[in-house]
Structure 1
């Protein structure tokens, strides 16, 4: 019965069916109805058996451990059953069946892997022109409509920055939209932090000085993902918000100055955040790359940077790259600038978008923003679940 297959929470639908399945040495080859051939490694297939003995039905978590398969494991019988599933009987007597949609979605042949990679959402990099097409969302719609919520999160995922309007100008009102995603990332600055000038600040953000482009908390092993900045009062002269897409700078640096790009993505830079109660320190490259060589993270705050630890002969190249990166954050082509009004809230990817603030005059009027963080993983999880629910 097909019901005894414990499948992922997602739906796996495909226009292609299994035309033919055969053993090839110790592995299994599937010929699809569109002519594609996928060869599945024997241990990969056994590792992903979806039967109720291998997967816990209540949680859909794997309980079988591949080390328990014999070294000499082979498929003894392979065929396509009447329901269109791949049916495999193993040499140790275990019986596995696989839905064609699931197999197609996870096929390991080069064409299928390239196809999946092409379908993965890609970051939309931007510069100054983004000021005219910055996506704006309505607070009340996000709080009541899952379709609007999904559109907001997808925009946030793809561009790294959004503006939410109509947020009540009340303390902690930003927690409503944040909780529509998931739980809060609390830090030593609190669950919600107040951005305003203070007599005894423990961060430059809590003064009135100019703040150059930076990511928050680069001093942590994992920087906070999403940052919320909600404007309650903004009567002071100055204090305009500036945003820079770190991914756009990385892309330009890779094309225009590849040697500097190689340095900035490999040399760890120290970031420190210390006061009389805490002492956070972490070192990592300013620009991080993923396994495919794509930019995955930007980490930078000059006011939290510690001394560079490197060989003397490496210093010229390191400072060339660092100075270029800082110079590019000042270039008009990468920057957008806006002034927040009460009820406005910036929500942006803190591991991608650097934010800055112009100096303001605290004697000219009050300026009070509140902020909080939600990790990037929480956004991605919420997008996946919403996609299943509203698509």
Structure 2
């Protein structure tokens, strides 16, 4: 499928071994063309115009909502378009969180969360006087749900976990996490950014209460994402931003708000991005998320096997992961590795991956991370391994 992705070649036409899909995915032509059409021949505003093109664009925009809902088994009245998963988490914190948490309540997070699933809860806790507890990890660096079970009390109102770690690739037993949260009366929010692009997701089967994800990690555009929330929860959540589109009736004496997702979508929405988001969803559904997960698993297994055979390499996370391998090489900083690999047209991520508490837990300042997508091949793994061998030689470490 590499031919569907124009970004996978260098300026001189050579193959580009892109292994940073966990940061952002390359875009297939179907997405690029859908956004181009929406920006050009089809373009008009939505929800306002009485002329036909505006009506057509409104239908396309709302159909995109329906398409994104179908990806995760939700209803279209349960999907709120946001600027991304970060804004979706902030929305929950500032709307549901402020309405439901008070002084003395507790929030449960894990050691491996992305900053976007930490900082909004810290801000909420400081504002209302709540407390944050942190679940440790198991020996293979997964969220320790046994520890979570022991820590949870009726004071806990929210549990917020990553469905898949953006650093380690480990897949949470989300159904058990939901059972544990609900047992004490807490809600469960799942950060699904690294899950929806790599495996089938069904929010009903997971039994979570909130699910967030971004389009750009799902082969779609930047600047848009989605919050899924149970319809009964969404109906009770107060508006968090004011402006056009989210209102029912405005007077200087009183304003009433729209119902459903529209209450949380103030202003002119990301129209073309939503349509391209839907195109990306159709694309991955046509490929098959189950097949993608299996293929990426084969690449993960080979890379982990080859890296583990090197006595100066530490590989982090569980054996089975959703397309992500993080590692360090003794005596070689990940930034140096990433720079040398770039000379061979191999792109990896090097740094703390917006997960500094996890780096502290692992006892390293940074890791190198290779992350796969549906366009990744064995040749990409080979190029990475050859680049690592070259880097080791440059640092006088032999092969």
Q: Which has the higher helix share?
A: 2
TM-score by length of 1: 0.25
Higher Rg of the two aligned structures: 1
Q: Which has the higher strand share?
A: 1
TM-score by length of 2: 0.25
